[in-house]
Amino acid sequence: MDIKTNEQLQKVLIEHIGTSENGIAVLDAKDQVIFYNQAFLRAFGLQDYPVYKQSYDDLLSWMFTTGVGMKAHTQKLDEWLAYIHSQYRSAPFRNYEVELVDGRWLLMTEQLSPDGEVVLVCNDVTLFKQVELALQKAQIELARQAMTDELTSLPNRRHFMQQLDNECQRAHRYGHTTSLAVIDIDHFKKINDGYGHPTGDEVLRHFAGLLAQRLRKNDVVGRLGGEEFALLLPETSKESARAVVSRLQQRLASENLEHISPGFRYTFSAGVAECEPSPQFCCADWMRAADETLYRAKAAGRNCVMVYDGSC
């Protein structure tokens, strides 16, 4: 390449860097800014800051205290700087995304020279990031819908049965005591026939809320379908599970249900079964034992809790 061509190329490159829509900055081996273009200033809101010869930490600190540029995700400057330092200069070349306080996103490239300079290049990828985040949100919502009962917002039958199967295997593996309660609202058909399906739906939502509010952290509640619900109670014997469900009955009896209908009351029946220690006792056996015990409770007059005794 001759001298004239080389000079022409340098001129073109310098003009391009200066007017580029991509933000570009160069830091020396001591991390002081020795070059920047206007796009870099605009990207990080640094138009009012004397960038030249400032240290990288000074830039970051000014952005943090002024509330412009990169979003810190922490309220402590020293924590944020420590995080930046853990990533900065960590590889000869790296790509990373930066979220800005005004909602924009930048794709950054950081390249180290053999003499220790750092070249930073950023371009706006906000539109692509918004699409990506929207897709992620949609996927999360679809996954939630696939596992959630639409009316009550509880785990649906499929999701609950997955949890039940996991707990059954855990109980066998570690020898833990775990109980299952299958619960059915008494005379629910009469509620629908006498008060209408909207009232029936309100009852289901009320009962779901009652169950969810009274559970411990590791307990799982789900709607199996119709007016039938289930409680998974890890680390709980069948007698303790009976006590838990009986307290739910007492709580329901004390509820003010005037918002559903004046003078309205309802009850439920439940069958409780403990996961048996035998590896041959599977999730389906466990559900069957609790379900058949529920039928015994309903046959005994409803509004009661019965415990599986192995005779079903």
Choosing from 167, 202, 227, 274, the catalytic residue is: 227
Domain ranges of the chain: 3-130, 148-307
- pLDDT above 70 covers a percentage of the chain that reads 95
Q: What does 206-257 look like in DSSP terms, one character per residue? A: HHHHHHHHT--TT-EEEEEETTEEEEEETT--HHHHHHHHHHHHHHHHT---
pLDDT digits (tens, 9 = 90+) for 214-273: 888 889 999 999 999 999 999 999 999 999 999 999 999 999 999 998 989 999 999 999
Query: Is the pLDDT assigned to residue 312 strictly greater than 60?
Result: no
Identify the CATH assignment for 3-130 out of 3.30.1490.20, 3.30.450.20, 3.40.50.720, 3.40.640.10.
Answer: 3.30.450.20
pLDDT of residue 129: 93
pLDDT of residue 2: 61
Quote the mean pLDDT of the chain: 92
The question of whether 276 is a catalytic residue gets the answer no
pLDDT digits (tens, 9 = 90+) for 140-181: 888 888 889 999 999 999 999 999 999 999 999 998 899 999
Do 3-130 and 148-307 agree at the fold level? no
pLDDT digits (tens, 9 = 90+) for 107-145: 999 999 999 999 999 999 999 999 999 999 999 888 888
Q: Which helix (H) or strand (E) holds 118?
A: strand 118-124
Q: Are 248 and 211 in contact (CB under 8 A)?
A: yes
Superfamily of domain covering 148-307: Reverse transcriptase/Diguanylate cyclase domain (3.30.70.270)
Angle between helices 238-253 and 197-213 (to 10 degrees): 130
Threshold 0.75, pTM exceeds:
no
Give the whole-angstrom CA distance, residue 180 versus residue 20: 65
Give the whole-angstrom CA distance, residue 238 versus residue 243: 9
The residue among 185 and 19 whose pLDDT is bigger is: 185
Give the whole-angstrom CA distance, residue 124 versus residue 104: 7
pLDDT of residue 16: 65
The residue count of the chain comes to: 312
CA distances in angstroms from 28 to 54, 69, 115, 119, listed in the order given:
11, 21, 9, 9
